Amino acid sequence: MKGCSMNKLWGGRFADQDWSDSEHFTASIHFDQRLYRHDIRGSIAHARMLARQRIISDEDARDIVTGLEAIRDEIEAGDAELSAAHEDIHMNIEALLTERIGPAAGRLHTARSRNDQVATAMRLYLKDEIAAILRLITELQSALVALAETHDDVLMPGYTHMQRAQPILMAHHLLAHFFMLQRDYERFTDSRRRMDVSPLGAGALAGTAHPIDPEFSARELGFSAIFDNSMDAVSDRDFLLEFLSAAAVTMMHISRLGEEVVLWASEEFGFIEIGDAFATGSSIMPQKKNPDVAELIRGKTGRTYGNLFTLLTVMKGLPLTYNSDMQEDKEATFDAVDTIKACLQVAAGLIGSLRINRERMESTVREDFSAATDAADYLVARGLPFRQAHHIVGRVVQYCLQDGKRLLDLSPDEWKGFSDLFAPDIIDTVSPEKCVNARISHGGTSPESVQEQMRVARRELQNREDS
Ligand code: ARG
């Protein structure tokens, strides 16, 4: 779009004043406008610091602060005119401030550069977004715990290699997802702790000759610490990379959860039914109920990985300090924020909507051979080495497969045919309930172990509520 150029805030050294051919390319206002509140917070803290240090007058600082607050309200109301001619949100706000309060606006950028300004705004923005993401992770974890608690005695097959392996409690399976999300929660918390450092006062790269007080502005902005090295402060985006990798791992986790919802809701499994509000119909096949929400959670994981790789690649070849390439950090970060928030929110709703088909889950586990390990353990308890026991039960399974029987169909005599150590109580031993009840080891699937996990989960959620 031509004809947008107007006087640039940095236009002084340029003879040719027509940027209309490139300004839409270099501009970031169409995406970085979402930083307006955080940019304004940073500017207000900076102005207050400048006045406190007698670098600008109290009167100018007051005008700057009230001007910035009015601009924030104006942008909020959608009334501000933001323009590509002013490149990014930082310079648009400064231009609006100049229009509003005149020359005093020109003093705001004293002892500051857009390089420390944008790093400050991004850190403030992400700290807020992480708080929102932590709340959403908590909601999803709560939904998992609630489902586990209301169905704490439902049996189902546990899988390895997607083959039925050993009977488990469904609650145990759900809590596995809880604990994965628990580490995601901690990863975001950790990354927030490291990003909680103010870069404001680093200047363009080398610091400033003005007698600034970066500790003061950091405190005003709620940062816990200030940078140690001004070049590091404006150069690095590792705080974004940590965020993006935490987001990628979380998405990987909820993608796996989504995948299980898709599988379990299929007619072949028939373990669950998804609430109508979290499924869709087919435009051609009237009978269908598609698990779109779960599929899209799985599908959107890809773009989150992409965002991490985008920024890793943007950063890898950059000499210190700031380079314009770094403006490319924004869309990747914003997209990751939007994607993970949307996915977590809908995942919590999805889990809350599930109806569990207990009969189907339990009949599945009765029909299969997932009690085979317990039959082998039975022989081990009667003195046989495990390898030998494994072999004998393997023969039992082969016999059943040939005869179209299940373990639960075998008579005491049939068992005895494979080993004298099999007494009639083997029948009871291979019931799925018994198999589950027997797994009392730490973190195992017995009701006691699962209740203990539930207590850990509840305590964790309770601590969050209290803090
Ligand atoms: N819009 C820029 C960014 O996102 C702000 C920093 C610009 N600094 C500069 N020296 N051009 O990175």
Atom of ligand 1 nearest to the CA of 204: 10
Given the residues 266, 282, 363, 411, select the one marked as catalytic: 282
- Provide the pairing of β-strand 272-273 with 155-160: unpaired
Helices (H), 283-411: 292-316, 329-353, 358-367, 372-381, 386-403
Neighbours of 159 (CB within 10 A): 15
Residue 121 beta carbon below 6 angstroms from any ligand 1 atom: no
Distance from C-alpha of 104 to C-alpha of 106, rounded to nearest angstrom: 5
Which residue's CA is the closest to the ligand 1 atom numbered 7? Answer: 114
161 is catalytic: yes
Distance from C-alpha of 300 to C-alpha of 307, rounded to nearest angstrom: 11
| Closest among 349, 364, 18 to 170, alpha carbons compared | 364
> Would you list the DSSP string of 225-273?
EE-S-HHHHHH--HHHHHHHHHHHHHHHHHHHHHHHHHHHTSTTT--EE
More confident residue, 369 or 36: 36
C-alpha 331 – ligand 1 centre gap (Å): 14
**Segment 155-175 mean pLDDT:** 96
At 223 the three-state DSSP class reads: coil
Residues 457 and 145 sit within 8 Å (Cβ to Cβ): yes
Four-way CATH pick for 364-466: 3.30.56.10, 1.10.40.30, 1.25.10.10, 3.90.260.10? 1.10.40.30
- Asked if pLDDT for residue 11 goes beyond 90, the answer is no
Residue 268 in tokens: 């072949």
For 66-202, where are the E strands, in sequence order?
155-160, 163-169, 197-198
Distance from C-alpha of 43 to C-alpha of 165, rounded to nearest angstrom: 60
Atom of ligand 1 nearest to the CA of 326: 12
| Closest among 183, 115, 79 to 320, alpha carbons compared | 115
Read off the pTM. 0.94
Q: What is the DSSP letter of 371?
A: T
pLDDT in tens, 427-466: 999 999 999 999 999 999 999 999 999 999 999 999 998 8
Q: Which DSSP helix (H) or strand (E) runs through 426?
A: helix 426-429
C-alpha 9 – ligand 1 centre gap (Å): 13
Mean pLDDT of the chain: 95
Atom of ligand 1 nearest to the CA of 89: 1
Atom of ligand 1 nearest to the CA of 322: 10
Which residue's CA is the closest to the ligand 1 atom numbered 4? Answer: 327
Confidence tier at 5 by pLDDT (50, 70, 90): low
Percent of the chain predicted with pLDDT > 70: 99
Q: What is the gyration radius of the CA atoms in the chain, in angstroms?
A: 31
Which residue's CA is the closest to the ligand 1 atom numbered 3? Answer: 327
Which residue's CA is the closest to the ligand 1 atom numbered 12? Answer: 327
Query: CATH class for domain 134-359?
Result: mainly alpha
The residue to mutate among 88, 93, 328, having the most atoms of ligand 1 within 8 angstroms of its beta carbon, is 88
Confidence tier at 281 by pLDDT (50, 70, 90): confident
Terminal alpha carbon distance of the chain: 51
Residue 86 beta carbon below 6 angstroms from any ligand 1 atom: no
Q: Which DSSP helix (H) or strand (E) runs through 179?
A: helix 170-195
Residue 431 beta carbon below 6 angstroms from any ligand 1 atom: no
Distance from C-alpha of 373 to C-alpha of 396, rounded to nearest angstrom: 12
Residue 222 in tokens: 């709620």
Four-way CATH pick for 22-110: 1.25.40.10, 3.80.30.20, 1.10.275.10, 3.40.190.10? 1.10.275.10
For residue 54, which phi and psi values (nearest 5 degrees)?
65, 25
Q: Where are the domains of the chain?
A: 22-110, 134-359, 364-466
Distance from C-alpha of 72 to C-alpha of 97, rounded to nearest angstrom: 10
- Asked if pLDDT for residue 150 goes beyond 50, the answer is yes
| Residues shown for the chain | 467
Question: 170-200 burial string, b = 16+ CB within 10 Å, else e?
Answer: bbbbbbbbbebbbebbebbeebbeebbbbbb
pLDDT in tens, 182-214: 999 999 999 999 999 999 999 999 999 999 999
109 is catalytic: no
Residue 114 beta carbon below 6 angstroms from any ligand 1 atom: yes
